Amino acid sequence: MPLTRRELIQNGAVGAAALAVGGVLGKSLGGGGEEEEHGDSGLSGQAQKVAESRKLTSEDVTRAVKTFVPPGNQHGDEFFLISSGGHSGQMFVMGVPSLRLLKTIGVFTPEPWQGHGYGSDSSDPVIKNGTANPANGTLTWGDTHHPALSETKGEYDGRYVYINDRANGRIAMIDLRDFKTKQILDVPNLQSSHGGVFVTQDTEYVHISTKTPTLVDPTKAAGALDRFADAFRGYSTFLATDKKGRFDLTRSFQIELPPYTQDLSDSGKLVSHGWVFLNSYNSEMASGGNMEGKPAIETGASKGDYDFLHLINWKKAEELVAAGKTKTINGMRVIPLDVAAAEGVLYLAPEPRSPHGVDVSPNGAYLVVAGKLDPHVTVYGWDKVQAAIAAKNFEGKDRYGVPILKFDAVVAGQVEVGAGPLHTQFDEQGHGFTSLFVESAIAKWSLGDPYFKGENAFKLVDKIPVQYNIGHLVTMEGDTVKPQGKYMVSLNKWSIDRFPAVGTLKPQNFQLVDLTGEKLSLLSDTPIGMGEPHYVQAIRADRIKAWEVYPPGTNPLTMEKDPNAVELGKERVERRGNIVEVWGSVKRSNFKPDNLTVKKGDRVIMHMTNTETTPDATHGFAIPRYNINCSLDPGEVTTVDFVASEPGAFAYYCTEFCSALHLEMQGWLMVTT
């Protein structure tokens, strides 16, 4: 039953928790499975005994068999989840169907195991380019939300992944040859960013947009909230990438947007290639003031009946940029809002109030919008959108002159899916799977022609409860032109009553759902105890061609031979005035040099090369009291650069238990006065 808007607002997370405890639990547990007799596992012999003693039902046993990866089976997981790590500032790599955690990737937040952010280092992206333009000291955290895997022809190509920092409007690039962060870009004119991160079909651009609009002139904050519509602007950013997947600002551009709060986006595919779709909430431009008798932000922002889906023609925008119809703001070429509106770069379409997700179907022909305060998904037909644009079928313009397409002219269908719909993923047959935050469930429904026709189109097909308060969900390669089906992962914000108590801060819950059967069925729960992941992408494992070792002497930041790499026997120390520069080697089981004497106040530059070629022969290089800790994988070169400010004897050591003589793998930094 659709809830009223008021009920939905009041529900929120608290209401949903109550629903979860009182409602969902009361109805059914275990993905809709009925109560089963223990001991009826359909097994025999030893397995039967184990199942009985562990009180596993036959359904449990089937679940275990479907997700188990035998010890030593390197290829038992068919897919990788590339997950945001939320406010951990990191990313997580997990296997599907096992949901085993394979790696965390240090991105915006220092990660000591990987020596990420602890070296004052030319090969450390956090230190080298992660702290640009901090408002208040050094930025040492981020809130990773939306990973975007690079694509070729609309399919993941396994080369790079990009991820935004929700908090600070930054974006990072990770190379999937070594799963390490290469670049952190503080995107001009973006104070914050959210779900506006996607690559275009051939990774021509990585898109990132503002979430909360940016105060255009930061020196005019006084009274700016009362001049919101004039003082603030949104920005849709098209970041060009170079041959190594890094951002190239010289070929990048932005499109100025109205100061609505731009939220999620997706890239057009196939028939809609060349466009980007970006939705917004708070088109009311409410700016709060709940202590001054004005409506609170959340109330003001939910007043109108509609918000706006932004339809952006980036191919056309490229032409305008080439023709010089831009202004430059903070070093970025920006197409002004009035130009974008007049030249057909930007259109708006009404969408039911307070939308969250917009997702493009695999064939590019449908744009699916889910409104948090509306129990429907609204499906826009790309053919209808194009026809409406061609016929100038507008219901008017917004206050900035941006044409608004007629709602009825562009909507292909609506499906009532349930309370609090957020995000949609797809399978290869043309089903949409939409997360229902308030209802704690996932709805499966059908798209229209050519997938489903007549009365089979735009129909609710199935539903599965999840535990609890789902945000994003992912099907395997489910946002590409070729979804792989099979599994779906539900990213649940709440896990109350699902795991043993580990204190007051509970883990999130990743639930694996089987898509292969007639009905959706739950396979497993996996607690996530490190930040709150938002979006996740799932890529076929065989698309990733990760390196086992670096080519000898590689600097991970450039992925090229480091000019300061050394070979064994070529280690040396040079002294120039108060600079001590070291070219050292690292291997089982020593550092060379293992003694280094410097004077207090000297600048010490140490280029350390791991000369190993054996996979997994990683060494650490840590200097106590200096906050220096590097990880040196086989073939890797890293540089630390610090001032020897503290006199004394400092035993630098290897932090990885690398060999029988690991404990002996140490040296002495002597800082004399």
Residues in contact with ligand CUA by CB under 6 A are 619, 654, 656-658, 662, 665
Residue 170 sits in the site that holds ligand CUK (CB under 6 A): no
Q: Which tokens belong to 23? A: 């409602």
CA dist., res. 118 & res. 532, Å (int): 24
Q: 389 vs 474, which CB is nearer to ligand CUK?
A: 474
Is residue 357 within 8 Å of residue 367, measured between CB atoms?
no
CB of 662 to ligand CUA, least distance (A): 3
Task: Show the site string, 251-280: x = touches ligand CUK by CB under 6 A, - = not.
Answer: -------------x----------------
**DSSP notation for 551-582:** PTTEETTTTEE-TT---TT--EEEEETTEEEE
Q: 180 vs 534, which CB is nearer to ligand CUK?
A: 534
**Max CA-CA distance within the chain?**
86
Residue 211 sits in the site that holds ligand CUK (CB under 6 A): no
CB of 538 to ligand CUK, least distance (A): 15
Is residue 156 within 8 Å of residue 536, measured between CB atoms?
no
CA dist., res. 262 & res. 234, Å (int): 7
CA dist., res. 396 & res. 394, Å (int): 5
Q: 332 vs 464, which CB is nearer to ligand CUK?
A: 464
Give the type of residue at 402: V
CA dist., res. 331 & res. 348, Å (int): 28
Residue 534 binds: one of ligand CUK, ligand CUA, none (C-beta under 5 to 8 A by kind)? ligand CUK
Enumerate residues 6+ apart whose C-beta is below 8 A from 341.
397, 400, 401, 402, 403
Q: 367 vs 658, which CB is nearer to ligand CUK?
A: 367
Residue 145 binds: one of ligand CUA, ligand CUK, none (C-beta under 5 to 8 A by kind)? ligand CUK
Residue 619 binds: one of ligand CUA, ligand CUK, none (C-beta under 5 to 8 A by kind)? ligand CUA
CA dist., res. 512 & res. 97, Å (int): 7
Residue 665 binds: one of ligand CUA, ligand CUK, none (C-beta under 5 to 8 A by kind)? ligand CUA
For residue 483, count CB atoms less than 10 angstroms from its CB and return exposed for 0-12, middle for 13-18, buried for 19 or more. buried
Is residue 320 within 8 Å of residue 338, measured between CB atoms?
no
Residue 444 sits in the site that holds ligand CUK (CB under 6 A): no
Q: 599 vs 662, which CB is nearer to ligand CUA?
A: 662
Q: Which residue in this structure is represented by tokens 């990737």?
A: 105
Residue 195 sits in the site that holds ligand CUK (CB under 6 A): yes
Q: 30 vs 552, which CB is nearer to ligand CUA?
A: 552
Q: Which tokens belong to 369? A: 């919008």
Residue 145 sits in the site that holds ligand CUK (CB under 6 A): yes
Q: 431 vs 534, which CB is nearer to ligand CUK?
A: 534
Is residue 172 within 8 Å of residue 241, measured between CB atoms?
no
Residue 194 binds: one of ligand CUA, ligand CUK, none (C-beta under 5 to 8 A by kind)? ligand CUK
Enumerate residues 6+ apart whose C-beta is below 8 A from 510.
81, 94, 99, 489, 490, 491, 492, 525, 526, 527, 528, 533
CB of 666 to ligand CUA, least distance (A): 9
Residue 662 binds: one of ligand CUA, ligand CUK, none (C-beta under 5 to 8 A by kind)? ligand CUA
Residue 422 sits in the site that holds ligand CUK (CB under 6 A): yes
Is residue 494 within 8 Å of residue 506, measured between CB atoms?
yes
CB of 84 to ligand CUK, least distance (A): 8
Residue 535 binds: one of ligand CUK, ligand CUA, none (C-beta under 5 to 8 A by kind)? ligand CUK
The continuous run of DSSP H or E covering 256 comes out as strand 247-257
For residue 84, the cross-strand partners are 91
CB of 636 to ligand CUA, least distance (A): 13
Residue 422 binds: one of ligand CUA, ligand CUK, none (C-beta under 5 to 8 A by kind)? ligand CUK
Q: 63 vs 194, which CB is nearer to ligand CUK?
A: 194
CB of 263 to ligand CUK, least distance (A): 8
Give the type of residue at 606: M
Residue 534 sits in the site that holds ligand CUK (CB under 6 A): yes
Assign residue 169 a region: left if phi > 0, alpha if psi is -120 to 50, beta otherwise?
left
Q: 211 vs 619, which CB is nearer to ligand CUK?
A: 211
Q: 386 vs 659, which CB is nearer to ligand CUA?
A: 659
Q: 247-257 and 275-281: which strand pairing?
A: unpaired
Q: 101-106 and 90-96: which strand pairing?
A: antiparallel
CB of 206 to ligand CUK, least distance (A): 16
CB of 560 to ligand CUA, least distance (A): 25
Q: 162 vs 550, which CB is nearer to ligand CUA?
A: 550
Residue 372 binds: one of ligand CUK, ligand CUA, none (C-beta under 5 to 8 A by kind)? none
Helix (H, G, I), strand (E, B) or coil at 167: coil
Give the type of residue at 526: T
CA dist., res. 356 & res. 373, Å (int): 9
Enumerate residues 6+ apart whose C-beta is below 8 A from 672.
597, 598, 599, 600, 647
Q: 73 vs 614, which CB is nearer to ligand CUA?
A: 614
Give the nearest residue (CB) to ligand CUK: 471
CA dist., res. 181 & res. 175, Å (int): 7
Taking alpha carbons only, the member of 369, 238, 221, 388 closest to residue 308 is 369
CB of 652 to ligand CUA, least distance (A): 11
CA dihedral 618, 622, 628, 629 (to 10 degrees): 30
Residue 194 sits in the site that holds ligand CUK (CB under 6 A): yes
Residue 108 sits in the site that holds ligand CUK (CB under 6 A): no
Q: 68 vs 657, which CB is nearer to ligand CUA?
A: 657
Among 170, 180, 269, 472, binds ligand CUK (CB under 6 A): 472
φ, ψ (nearest 5 deg) of residue 61: -60, -40
Among 281, 510, 535, 653, binds ligand CUK (CB under 6 A): 535
Task: Show the site string, 335-374: x = touches ligand CUK by CB under 6 A, - = not.
Answer: ---------------------x------------------
CB of 33 to ligand CUA, least distance (A): 48
End-to-end alpha-carbon separation of the chain, Å?
77
CB of 96 to ligand CUA, least distance (A): 33
Is residue 584 within 8 Å of residue 562, measured between CB atoms?
no
Q: Which residues bind ligand CUK (CB under 6 A)?
A: 145-146, 194-195, 264, 356, 422-423, 471-472, 534-535
